[in-house]
Amino acid sequence: MLACAPALAHAQAGPQPLGTWLTPGKDSQIRISRCGAALCGTVAKVMAGEAKDIHNPDPALRGRSLVGAALTRDMHPAGEGWEGSLYNFRDGRTYSGKLAMKGPNVLELSGCVLGGLICKKQMWTRVE
């Protein structure tokens, strides 16, 4: 437990990712909130594209609304940001991911596969 304390303190210093964020394509808004010591992300609004979770690997969930769907439940402090898993509703896959504040209103999200060998980044902008 004590080994995690420095990472928790460091990740929580400065701007926080709590709030609602606009994705780069301006097609959805994601709400980031606290859930215990972790951060949780859920779809707050879908402005363009399919509003159902049609790519979900579980056929029983493909008809559910994306609004309220969890993108992450386990983003824990790590280094200068947070790490955990990210669900991409655009392809139905879950990736290892990171969140890092790049300014008070800019959040960098990165998702990786193959143990971090291949990664993609997005910059989200704060809505609220």
pLDDT digits (tens, 9 = 90+) for 57-112: 999 999 999 999 999 988 999 999 999 999 999 999 999 999 999 999 999 999 98
0.85 cut: is pTM over it?
Answer: no
pLDDT of 8 strictly over 60: no
State residue 113's pLDDT score.
Answer: 80
Nearest CA to 76 out of 21, 34, 119 is that of 34
pLDDT of 6 strictly over 60: no
Q: How far apart are CA 127 and CA 53, in angstroms?
A: 23
Q: How far apart are CA 2 and CA 48, in angstroms?
A: 44
- The residue range of the domain holding 76 is 2-126
Domain count for the chain: 1
Q: Between vectors from CA 20 to CA 14 and to CA 25, what angle results, nearest 5°?
A: 110
pLDDT of 2 strictly over 70: no
Give the CATH number, domain containing residue 77. Answer: 2.40.128.520
Name all contacts of 20-29 with Cβ < 8 Å and 24+ positions apart: 20/44, 20/126, 20/127, 20/128, 21/107, 21/124, 21/125, 21/126, 21/127, 22/124, 22/125, 22/126, 22/127, 23/122, 23/124, 24/122, 24/123, 24/124, 28/66, 29/127
